Structure 1
Amino acid sequence: MMEVSAVIPVYNDRKALEKAIPESISRLEEITGSFELLIAEDGSNDGSAEYVRSWEERDPRVRLLHADERLGRGRALNRAFMESRGAIFCYYDVDLATDMVHLADLIGAVRDGCAIATGSRLMPDSAIDRGHGREIASRGYNALVRFFLGSRLYDHQCGFKAFSRDLLTSLLPNVRAPHWFWDTEILVLAEREGYRVCEFPVVWRQGEQTTVKLSDVTGMGSDILKLWWRLHASKD
């Protein structure tokens, strides 16, 4: 088994891939000699799939996972894990909003025994650059997760996470979120099961574009309540 499977979820991100793929390969080569780079391309129509195929042809470490119709972030990551071959599974956003200097820390944390490692934009030592409105929304969302779901983490939605294969094999059958709430749900379930979740501050800057819509944010608020009900009130 290879050591690291790195995944980049993609939806109409052709331009961002021009930087993300070569930067990923360069960083991963510094960390390990045994890796694959999976591009979880989720129903794009902007040439993203064709661009990744051109990389596949010249570098066998790059693999395209194409979906004809959009799966959603959570389902795309589930599929990527099923297709992956690494003992450590990590993913990060295609816009490289989290400084890639932290990739070695992310993978290193799982090497050192963390079941999950996650970057945080909201710890005291984090350095972030984003709009005031998104900052308020993020802090409010994470406060709700801590209050309703009992999490001890600062930031549940940072798109910069790594997992041991054993953890994902154990937890994924219980993760129901198909889209953006996937990140939060898997962290909360891991904490409840007593897994070691390691959070560390990162340098992060807001990307030029985001596929997160207002409806997604509203939906995640509803997802918090649904997960609370499932964990605390439902007999199912």
Structure 2
Amino acid sequence: MNSSVEVSAVIPVFNDVDSLKTAIPESIKVLETVSDSFEIIVAEDGSTDGSRELVLEWEERDNRVRLFHSDERLGRGRALNRAFEAAKGEIVCYYDVDLATDMSHLSELITHIRDGADAATGSRLLPSSDIVRTAGREVASRGYNMMVRLILKSRLYDHQCGFKAFRRAQILKLIPDIQSGHWFWDTEALVIAQKRGYRVDEFAVKWRTGSGTTVRPKDVFSMGSSVLKLWWRLYAEKN
């Protein structure tokens, strides 16, 4: 691919127009300190609240902002796949539109890839992580990630933090094997990357519960069953 862009930052969006009003200008401000050449891809996934129209306005004002619109809901994972495949950057990253992870960590995220990592992820569960969320969410998150570590043999502590970066050439090799179309995408990508021998870096972040969180109880149950299905694919079927 012939590209002059170093970093492609993807923001997955579904009915998040209010969060976008902050996320786009804040992304531009921070990315200008991180790289001389970047683009922001808003992966807008079937929104009906004016998110698409807002991004179109930004496209006209700044050619570094790109809209990727889907008329039908794809799911977060499929929206990320589509954006990464179309990205121009050698490094692709994504983060949640509510900016729950402090954007001061974006430079650190990109630096891990520049320094040789194939993938990098922020972590809310390392000893030095600075997080604020309810006790219930904390227990659920720790339980889920412990299950991933034990069953899927991951060495990482937090698989679902929406703050990740990849060497684009490497994540494109994984996408055909990532079956999840929604929330489990993060876990599946990191587990398969480790199994393939990729270098995956994890680092502590400052994180605050965002107002736009759309993970529902049934999503948590679905991800738990997805862990078992992925174990079967990676370990049982091959024996």
Q: Give 2:60's aligned residue.
A: 57
User: 1:48-94 CA distances to partner (integer Å, 9 max, x unpaired)?
Assistant: 00000000011000000001011001000000011111000000000
Aligned partner (choices 47, 51, 61) of residue 48 of structure 1: 51
Q: Give 1:25's aligned residue.
A: 28
Moved more, 2-11 or 168-177: 168-177
Q: Give 1:74's aligned residue.
A: 77
2:92 matches 1:93: no
Q: Give 1:131's aligned residue.
A: 134
Q: Give 1:211's aligned residue.
A: 214
Q: For residue 40 of structure 2, what is the amino acid of its counterpart?
A: L
Q: Give 2:170's aligned residue.
A: 167
> Gapped runs of 5+ residues in structure 2?
none
Aligned length: 236
8 Å CA contact 2:85–2:172 kept in 1: the answer is no
Q: For residue 31 of structure 1, what is the amino acid of its counterpart?
A: V
Q: For residue 115 of structure 1, what is the amino acid of its counterpart?
A: D
The percent of aligned pairs where both chains have the same amino acid is 64
Structure-2-length-normalised TM-score: 0.97
> Gapped runs of 5+ residues in structure 1?
none
Q: For residue 224 of structure 2, what is the amino acid of its counterpart?
A: G
Q: Give 2:183's aligned residue.
A: 180
8 Å CA contact 2:119–2:165 kept in 1: the answer is yes
| Alignment partners' CA distance in 1, 2:33 and 2:212 | 28
Give the drift of 1:235. 4.4
Aligned partner (choices 102, 111, 115) of residue 114 of structure 2: 111
Give the drift of 1:209. 2.8
Q: Which runs of 4+ in 1 moved over 6 A?
A: none
Residue 9 of structure 2 aligns to a residue in which SS? strand
Alpha-carbon RMSD? 0.9
